Structure 1
Amino acid sequence: MGPHPGLRRLALSTLPAADPGPVPPQWAVDLVGACPAGHTQFSTNMHEPGQTAASTATLRAGRSDVLVAIDEQD
């Protein structure tokens, strides 16, 4: 018996994804297109000016109204 079909979507509705680099991988773009929670960017992922805007633009290719959270703790 596998998990309930809606369980993944329910979990992803409350837990925004994150990735380790300055450029979101394709799986992250696909995920924001399928799930409403959004995506988290960490300050340690960004190494130069403009990367936050570029990363957000990449995520918006998956869903134009994606919620992007920023965690600036080091």
Structure 2
Amino acid sequence: MSDWHDELEFALLPLEDAKIDSDCMTSVISNALREHGIFHQCRIGCAEDRLSRMVTAPHCWIELEQGWCIDIRLRQWLGD
């Protein structure tokens, strides 16, 4: 992970305790990224735990360049 990604992760930590679902979380983070001129794409789909086969849908997340994803809410639904 680069220094830039470490800084981003640190900046997003306070959002982990926010009581909002993935769609709202994605919107909040997207607005912050846009304000800082960071290219990203918001995505919607589903997430599946391959071991338990538990699925959460719809689910939203953010994709950054080079395949990096921001998905703070996934642990809420599927655990660590």
> What is the TM-score with the length of structure 2 in the denominator?
0.34
> What is the TM-score with the length of structure 1 in the denominator?
0.36
Higher helix proportion (structure 1 or 2): 2
Higher relative contact order (CA 8 A, sep 6+): 1
